[in-house]
Chains A and B, each alone.
Chain A
Amino acid sequence: MNGEGSTVSPTAMAAIVLLRVVIGWHFLYEGVAKLTNPGWSASGYLLQSRGVLSGFFRGLAADPNVLAMVNPLTKWGLTLIGLGLILGCFTRLASAMGILLILLFYLCNPPFVGYFYSIPTEGSYLIVNKNLVELAALAVVLTTGSGRVAGLDRIIHRLLRRRR
């Protein structure tokens, strides 16, 4: 099952592909759920922002022109990254963008000492929350090239190489 350029064992690679698909699923549904909810806006989440960057995030929510860009970017970003990860299509780009997006979510509402949020959370977090875990998992996906093993990248890369 080992593809070109991969140094991980076939079982490890299968686990990474599984990881990539479930993260992709999560992104895709987060995106689709927002796309199909006409009332959705990032403003609530942004307005709750805490921490050093809270001024920046609240500023995004305060300006309707900016918000009119942030909302579709978030919705479509989540959806496209999700599709990319599930299909293994432009996997590295999708992972990098996913890391960037999650990093923004994380920094918007970081679970630091002494911060409390009114958004209900189902667990207990200190510095590390599920956003950070998903971010770290995407770092694995980013660096292991699983799309070239099981994914459309396999075809894309072959086409690119033939051109050269």
Chain B
Amino acid sequence: MLLALSTVPALGLFGYAWSRQHAYEQKQKEAARPAKAVPTGLSEINVALVGAGAQGQVLLDAMLRIPGLRFRAVCDIWKEYNQRRAVNTLRKYKFEVKGYEDYREMLDQEKDLDAVVIATPDFWHAPHTVDCLKAGKHVYCEKEMSNTLEGARSMVLAARETGKLLQIGHQRRSHPRYLHCHEKLLGEARILGRIVTVNGQWNRAVSADIGYPERYAIPGDRLKQYGFKTMDQFRNWRWYKGLGGGPIVDLGSHQIDIFNWFLGAVPAHVMASGGLDYHDPKTHEWYDTVMAVYEYETPAGPSRAYYQTQTTNGSQGYFENFMGDQGTLVVSESEASYPGFLYRDPNAPAWDEWVRKGYVSAPKVQEARSESKEEVTLDVRESVTPDLHRVPVVLRDPYHQPHLENFFESIRGQATLNCPAEVGYETAVTVLKVNEAVEAKRRLSFRAEEFKV
């Protein structure tokens, strides 16, 4: 008998070791999260999440790190899966949340809500946002503001009429690195000189259509009620006309928004080429490849901006590249690939002052190198390689956290929105025109009043 049970103590030892490990992990997690306790004088904001899909989860994870929020409700038509997952997550964090399928029922029942965070498919943004604003809630709505300009316009008007806050989810507008570039490097230091050309890209590798576990499929009548034909369409709505805007809108709008912001202007013209070059037209309607050229009349002079998005090759990822006569800035939201590189043109005035002020890192002299071991001869006409500096700003929080914080701080009156409805509308006008230009197969012009509501 003794021998039979001789290895049981090993299990006890395992249990002890595991409980220590578990406690350690919990402690690490809590240390990574700001204190849950509401700082004194900070009123709690009652929040609901509408749309608990992939993006809703991203926003939820970021919001769980922000103090002073009380989650009250999650609304998602996929009750069987996404709604349940989000509700369970929030219950684990000790929030008493209710799940809803219909957002109108949620607005009827949850009278105490202060703010609603919307991460539904694009074609639902306008009705969701307008109704929430009219019900007296502040709204954070994911980009793209809407898949139609009428929708986006109704959102701006509703925000104006109700006096409630509407933040559009172009989260780079609150990213400390982008703010640093905008305010310090381009604003105060004018470090790039005259920006004449801009190049933004989002390269994404081929990925399979998003699936779903069949036993959790939404019944057909409910799908239809909410504007979807099939479960596959529901999961891959971004590819369908009338529901989303395709990669140029999903990916491009983040970066084209930065073009407008950093150039301090909206474009005058756009030409574009695009098509469904690779993916199956049975399950994809929007263009998988788009290349667009914008022409700007900036306060400093004309600029041309190229943008490319394609979904067949992921190398080089995503970045925005601003090229001035004194330097170049390559920046992205990612900490991994392009966390802010600056190249000073050798003929430009020295950047010593900006290095001293900590705006840019000390330079690293670029030496001409060759992959081959043999000596290489550089052509005399070749430009001298510029020095490399870095933008010394790192974001350690989830990418969406600062933008959400800006929204909640604005509700408390401690900040102003970094991307209010009017700004989101300008970007929507700028981006949605690309799909129009692809279809028209010619250069389209923007009228200045197009950008105003």
User: What DSSP secondary structure best describes chain A's contact surface?
Assistant: helix
- Residue from the list B1, B7, B8, B212 in contact with A17, Cβ < 8 A: B7
The answer to whether A29 and B18 touch across the interface, beta carbons within 8 angstroms, is yes
The answer to whether A28 and B14 touch across the interface, beta carbons within 8 angstroms, is yes
The answer to whether B4 and A151 touch across the interface, beta carbons within 8 angstroms, is yes
Closest Cβ–Cβ distance, residue B442 to chain A (whole Å): 41
- Residue from the list A1, A24, A65, A155 in contact with B4, Cβ < 8 A: A155
User: What DSSP secondary structure best describes chain B's contact surface?
Assistant: loop
- Residue from the list B3, B6, B213 in contact with A64, Cβ < 8 A: B213
- Residue from the list A21, A63, A65, A154 in contact with B10, Cβ < 8 A: A21
For A149, the chain B residues whose CB sits under 8 A away are 3
A88 proximal to B (CB < 8 A): yes
Chain A residue at minimum C-beta to C-beta distance from B211: A64
Query: How far is A24 from B14 in the complex, measured between Cα atoms in Å?
Result: 10
- Residue from the list B5, B18, B213 in contact with A65, Cβ < 8 A: B213
The answer to whether A154 and B3 touch across the interface, beta carbons within 8 angstroms, is yes
**What per-residue 1/0 map shows which CB atoms of A137-160 lie under 8 Å from chain B?**
000000000000111111100000
Chain A residue at minimum C-beta to C-beta distance from B11: A86
Tell me which residues from 1 to 34 in chain A have a Cβ below 8 Å from any Cβ of chain B: 1, 3, 17, 20-21, 24-25, 28-29, 32
For A86, the chain B residues whose CB sits under 8 A away are 7, 10-11, 14
For B213, the chain A residues whose CB sits under 8 A away are 64-65, 68
Query: How far is A65 from B211 in the complex, measured between Cα atoms in Å?
Result: 8
Closest Cβ–Cβ distance, residue B217 to chain A (whole Å): 10
- Residue from the list B3, B11, B211, B214 in contact with A150, Cβ < 8 A: B3
Closest Cβ–Cβ distance, residue B207 to chain A (whole Å): 10
**What per-residue 1/0 map shows which CB atoms of B20-34 lie under 8 Å from chain A?**
001000000000000
Tell me which residues from 117 to 145 in chain A have a Cβ below 8 Å from any Cβ of chain B: none
Chain B count of residues within 8 A CB distance of the other chain: 17
The answer to whether A150 and B7 touch across the interface, beta carbons within 8 angstroms, is yes
B380 proximal to A (CB < 8 A): no
A108 proximal to B (CB < 8 A): no
B208 proximal to A (CB < 8 A): yes
With A62-B208, A64-B211, A65-B213 known as contacts, the answer to whether A152 contacts B4 (CB < 8 A) is yes
For B8, the chain A residues whose CB sits under 8 A away are 87
For B18, the chain A residues whose CB sits under 8 A away are 29, 32
Chain A residue at minimum C-beta to C-beta distance from B6: A150
Closest Cβ–Cβ distance, residue A156 to chain B (whole Å): 9
The answer to whether A87 and B7 touch across the interface, beta carbons within 8 angstroms, is yes
The answer to whether A87 and B211 touch across the interface, beta carbons within 8 angstroms, is no
Chain B residue at minimum C-beta to C-beta distance from A69: B213
Query: How far is A120 from B213 in the complex, measured between Cα atoms in Å?
Result: 31
For A88, the chain B residues whose CB sits under 8 A away are 4, 7
Query: How far is A5 from B14 in the complex, measured between Cα atoms in Å?
Result: 30
For A36, the chain B residues whose CB sits under 8 A away are 22
**What per-residue 1/0 map shows which CB atoms of B200-239 lie under 8 Å from chain A?**
0000000010011110000000000000000000000000
Query: How far is A86 from B213 in the complex, measured between Cα atoms in Å?
Result: 35
The answer to whether B1 and A155 touch across the interface, beta carbons within 8 angstroms, is yes
Chain A residue at minimum C-beta to C-beta distance from B92: A38
For B7, the chain A residues whose CB sits under 8 A away are 17, 20-21, 86-88, 150-151
Closest Cβ–Cβ distance, residue B8 to chain A (whole Å): 6
Tell me which residues from 1 to 59 in chain B have a Cβ below 8 Å from any Cβ of chain A: 1, 3-8, 10-11, 14, 18, 22
Tell me which residues from 44 to 69 in chain A have a Cβ below 8 Å from any Cβ of chain B: 62-65, 68
Query: How far is A24 from B22 in the complex, measured between Cα atoms in Å?
Result: 19
For B1, the chain A residues whose CB sits under 8 A away are 155
With A25-B14, A32-B18 known as contacts, the answer to whether A154 contacts B4 (CB < 8 A) is yes
Chain B residue at minimum C-beta to C-beta distance from A157: B4
Closest Cβ–Cβ distance, residue B126 to chain A (whole Å): 31
Q: A17-B6, A20-B7, A68-B213 are in contact. List 18 more A-B contacts (CB 8 A).
A: A3-B3, A21-B7, A21-B10, A25-B14, A62-B211, A63-B211, A64-B211, A64-B212, A64-B213, A65-B211, A65-B213, A86-B10, A86-B11, A86-B14, A150-B3, A150-B4, A151-B6, A155-B1
Closest 3 CB pairs of A and B: A154-B4, A64-B211, A150-B6
Q: Can you identify 17 A-B contacts, CB atoms within 8 angstroms?
A: A3-B3, A20-B7, A21-B10, A24-B10, A25-B10, A25-B14, A28-B14, A32-B18, A36-B22, A64-B211, A64-B212, A86-B7, A86-B10, A86-B11, A87-B7, A152-B5, A154-B3
